[in-house]
Amino acid sequence: MKTAIVGAGASGVIAALSCKSKEIILIDGNDKSLKKILLTGNGRCNYWNEYIDIDKYNTDNYDILQKIISKENINKTYEFLYKLGIYPKIKNNNYYPYSNQASSVRQILEKNLTKKNIKFINNFKVNNIYKINDEFIIESTNNEKIKCDKLILATGSKAYPKTGSDGSGYELLKKFNLKINPVTPALTKLFTKEKYLWENVRSDVNIKLFVNNKFIKEEYGEVQLTMDAISGICTFNLSSIASKSLYLKKNVYVKIDFLPNIPNIIQFLDDRQKIINGNIEEILESIFNYKLMFVLLKYSNINKEKRWDDLSLIEKNILSKNIKEFKLNIIGTDTFDKSQVCTGGLSLNYINPKNMSVNDVNGLYVVGEILDVDGMCGGFNLAFAFITGYLAGSDIND
Ligand SMILES: Cc1cc2nc3c(=O)[nH]c(=O)nc-3n(C[C@H](O)[C@H](O)[C@H](O)COP(=O)(O)OP(=O)(O)OC[C@H]3O[C@@H](n4cnc5c(N)ncnc54)[C@H](O)[C@@H]3O)c2cc1C
């Protein structure tokens, strides 16, 4: 029995390491394996999370996802990673290698490939796969051919194509008449219709996402504001749904609460005025970054020289609303080459969650980000790549 794994990223390498096939070949279009992993977690590789659960993911089939990331599969995969040699440092439920170096994770995985004598064929860009009887034929752009009995496709998405994941895997799946759900950028910046002079301001906020005027999801955390975009982890975590909705031509906006811990702004500023016998700028200046404060005042049409207690109730309400519910219309996302992952991909409806095999194509397995599953920031995407790689690899025993 010969098993080929196309894609030597996180999912493909774990598939290879957990596979017990007589002959295992790992194929990649790059010269080296695991290029993307070096970029993860800002070079620290946030590879796992204490709370892996379906509410941390977007997918087209939550029932199948629930079976894939069952407690049992999570535990088995984590134990496998641990036994390979990855020792964790856990911070706020996020797992990093204790070394804080993504390169150490790559080295450990590569050394294990060598120990296991797994044949790595590099610079083999696959551009066609077909089946003759029970055998898969894998063809490269240079017309080289590799044959195998079982095939694990682990080619990733279209995010950060310079790491090798250029979306060509979707085309390979289409050759088996499998439909690909629309693929759009995720874990990415969101561009706004409005342009404000708050370049490079960071603020701890609550952000609520609305699609076609319906509240969808909220996040707390630091937002980074630029003239024409918002970013930061809390924005990223809303970006998948925003991206999909924009693709479907829906109306998308966010409302930002710049003082999430203060429920009653009018009361709060009344109290501040009593302490600070000055104008509104003096009342707000240690609360907001100056750039943000001037945007809030300008947008509320309030002169910074005025005193808070001289404002009309209407003016007070307008400023209070802008502090608590600042609306920004979302008109786009960043491009694939600057987005960490993608939404969409191969529907989970095709997948047998026991082993990641494709129901309609005997011998074919699909793992990792090429599937229609994307996770929030916090190690959930690598965890999904590892779990699915492990499930497929450990299913092949002969
Ligand atoms: C900047 C950045 C930071 C990130 N940080 C984190 C993080 O901290 N935590 C986290 O959980 N996730 C993070 N992610 C996401 C995570 O890296 C991915 O979800 C994960 O690597 C996906 O693994 P994969 O095996 O499915 O695909 P990939 O790792 O993309 O691997 C796919 C492989 O397939 C190969 N390939 C593709 N097409 C072909 C072809 N036609 N022929 C041959 N080979 C092919 C590619 O060369 C590549 O080696 C980050 C992503 C980026 C871009």
Of 287, 305, 333, the position where a domain reaches its end is 333
Whether 315 and 168 map to the same domain: the answer is no
- Name the residue with tokens 């309400």: 317
How far does residue 280's CA lie from ligand 1's centre (Å)?
49
What ligand 1 atom has the least distance to the C-alpha of 379?
Answer: 11
The number of folded domains in the chain is 2
Residues 231 and 315 in one domain: yes
Instruction: Judge if 11 and 77 occupy the same domain.
Output: yes
Give percent of the chain with pLDDT exceeding 90. Answer: 99
Confidence of residue 173 (pLDDT cuts 50, 70, 90): very high
Q: Which atom number of ligand 1 is nearest to the Cα of residue 33? A: 49
- What is the value of pTM for the model shown? 0.97
CA of 121 to the centre of ligand 1 (A): 18
Same-domain pairing of 88 and 167: yes
Report the pLDDT value the prediction gives residue 1, as an integer from 0 to 100: 84
Shortest-distance atom of ligand 1 to CA 164:
47
Does 199 share its domain with 328?
Answer: yes
What CATH number is associated with residue 366? 3.50.50.60
Interval 198-233: pLDDT, tens = 999 999 999 999 999 999 999 999 999 999 999 999
Pocket test for ligand 1, best of 52, 92, 155 (most atoms within 8 A of CB): 155
Q: Which domain holds residue 243?
A: 189-333
Q: Over the chain, what HEC string results?
A: CEEEEECCCHHHHHHHHHCCCCEEEEECCCCCCCCHHHHHHHHCCCCEECCCCHHHEEECCHHHHHHHCCHHHHHHHHHHHHHHCCCEEEECCEEEECCCCHHHHHHHHHHHHHHCCCEEECCCCEEEEEEECCEEEEEECCCCEEEECEEEECCCCCCCHHHCCCCHHHHHHHCCCCCEEEEEEECCCEEECCCCCCCCEEEEEEEEEEECCEEEEEEEEEEEEECCEEECHHHHHHHHHHHHHHHCCCCEEEEEECCCCCCCHHHHHHHHHHHCCCCHHHHHCCCCCHHHHHHHHHHCCCCCCCCHHHCCHHHHHHHHHHHHCEEEEEEEECCHHHCCEEEEEECHHHEECCCCEECCCCCEEECHHHECEEECCCCHHHHHHHHHHHHHHHHCCC
Judge if 360 and 326 occupy the same domain.
Answer: no
Question: What pLDDT does residue 143 have?
Answer: 96
User: Which of 310, 333, 356 is the endpoint of a domain?
Assistant: 333
Alpha-carbon Rg of the chain, whole angstroms? 25
**328 plus 379 within the same structural domain:** no
Q: What is the pLDDT of residues 357-394, one digit of tens each?
A: 999 999 999 999 999 999 999 999 999 999 999 999 99
- How do residues 20-61 score in pLDDT, each as one tens digit? 999 999 999 999 999 999 999 999 999 999 999 999 999 999
Ligand 1 centroid – CA 165 distance (Å): 6
What percent of the chain stands above pLDDT 70? 100
Cβ of residue 371 lying under 6 Å from some atom of ligand 1: no
Do 166 and 302 belong together in one domain?
A: no
User: In this predicted structure, what is the pLDDT of residue 308?
Assistant: 97
- Same domain as 303, residue 249: yes
Distance between Cα 161 and ligand 1 center (Å): 9
One domain, residues 38 and 160: yes
pLDDT tens figures, 80-92: 999 999 999 999 9
Tell me, yes or no, whether 147 and 91 share the same domain: yes
CA 386–ligand 1 middle distance (angstroms) = 11
Q: Is 6 in the pocket of ligand 1 (CB under 6 A)?
A: yes
Confidence label for 284 from pLDDT (cuts 50, 70 and 90): very high
**Ligand 1 touching residue 160 (CB < 6 A):** yes
Last residue of a domain, one of 297, 316, 333: 333
| pLDDT at res. 398 | 79
* Residue 341, pLDDT above cutoff 90: yes
Mean pLDDT throughout 102-109?
Answer: 98
In a mutational test of the pocket of ligand 1, which residue from 125, 340, 384 has the highest number of ligand atoms less than 8 Å from its CB? Answer: 340
Identify any residues that bridge with 182 across adjacent strands, giving them in sequence order: none
Please tell me the distance from the alpha carbon of residue 45 to that of residue 310, in angstroms, as a whole number.
53
Reported as a pLDDT band with limits 50, 70 and 90, residue 17 is very high
170 and 196, same domain (yes or no): no
In tens, the pLDDT along 228-276 reads 999 999 999 999 999 999 999 999 999 999 999 999 999 999 999 999 9
Quick one: average pLDDT of 66-73?
98
